[in-house]
Amino acid sequence: MSDRWIHLEGLVNMRDVGGLPTRDGGSTVPRRLIRSDNLQDLSDRDVLRLVEDLGVSDVVDLRTETELHLEGPGPLRRVETLTHHHHSLIAESRAASAEEVAARALAMPWQDGSARDARFWAEHYLGYLAKRPDSVSAALAVVAGATGAAVVHCAAGKDRTGTVVAMALDVAGVPHDEIVADYVLTGERIVEIIERLMTRDAYGPALAKQSVADQVPRPESVAAILDAVADGWGGAPGWLRDNGWSADDVERLRARLTRP
């Protein structure tokens, strides 16, 4: 697949990870795992294409409770044939009131003053694995068990989504350089992504204080995940087994994503 972008009216960073080569000479299967940015603005035509043409059956939302509260339910929530799964990669206790939830947006990781270089993002990605292994594992379990295409998304479709997709592709046996190349593709759309998020209360105030360069995906960031998991567990399959998966569970995910 020379062009894996999925062009819809209501988003800018959706693509199919099918068609990537695997180390055993096979490839990943299209319409099994789709990565995306925020799904809040889909048009009716977008919804029909996702459900009827692309066969989406499951949606994995990696955003926080704060983001869900501020953004509200998106158009796909009205589709009864879809199954929605919420697995936040950022630890967050439930607030006692709507006001507390809204105020918590000020404490989200994208609001701090840290320099956003490759190391900053790498530490965030490794933090997802360390602090929310349950959510990473659960998101991958959805992909393994989906009857159709599973869409995994966060806000920009870069960081949280990139972490989960990198783990999935590592299980599938995609070479690390190909996983990195898929991750940095988001850079082609980063200006449009930021422009879209700037209009939203959950993200706009923080993004207004950052440059585009702060958000550009850097190869070293996702490579840090792959290297750390390879060094510590022999790869994503080992990491999943260390987090409660059986060998059959891992094989089900690999088989779901690949073909000879």
Q: Which domains does the chain have, with CATH numbers?
A: 15-259 (3.90.190.10)
Q: What is the pLDDT of residues 118-167, one digit of tens each?
A: 788 788 899 999 999 999 999 999 999 999 999 999 999 999 999 999 99
Q: Give the chain as a DSSP string.
A: ----B---TT-S--EE-TT-B-TTS-EEPTTSEEEES--TT--HHHHHIIIIIS-EEEEEE---HHHHHHH---GGGG-TT-EEEE--SS--PPPSSHHHHHHHGGGSGGGS----SHHHHHHHHHHHHHH-HHHHHHHHHHHHH-SSEEEEE-SSSSSHHHHHHHHHHHHHT--HHHHHHHHHGGGGGHHHHHHHHHTSTTTHHHHTTS-HHHHS--HHHHHHHHHHHHHHHSSHHHHHHHTT--HHHHHHHHHHHEE-
Does the pLDDT at position 104 exceed 80?
Answer: no
Please state, in angstroms and rounded to a whole number, the distance separating the CA atoms of residues 20 and 1: 8
190: closest CA among 177, 175, 207? 207
pLDDT at 94: 56
pLDDT at 151: 98
pLDDT at 96: 39
pLDDT at 114: 55
Higher pLDDT, 37 or 208: 37
Whole-model pTM over 0.85: yes
Q: What is the pLDDT of residues 175-211, one digit of tens each?
A: 999 999 999 999 999 999 999 998 888 888 878 877 7
Q: What is the pLDDT of residues 45-103, one digit of tens each?
A: 999 999 999 999 999 999 998 899 888 999 999 999 999 999 999 987 554 344 554 44
Does the pLDDT at position 237 exceed 50?
Answer: yes
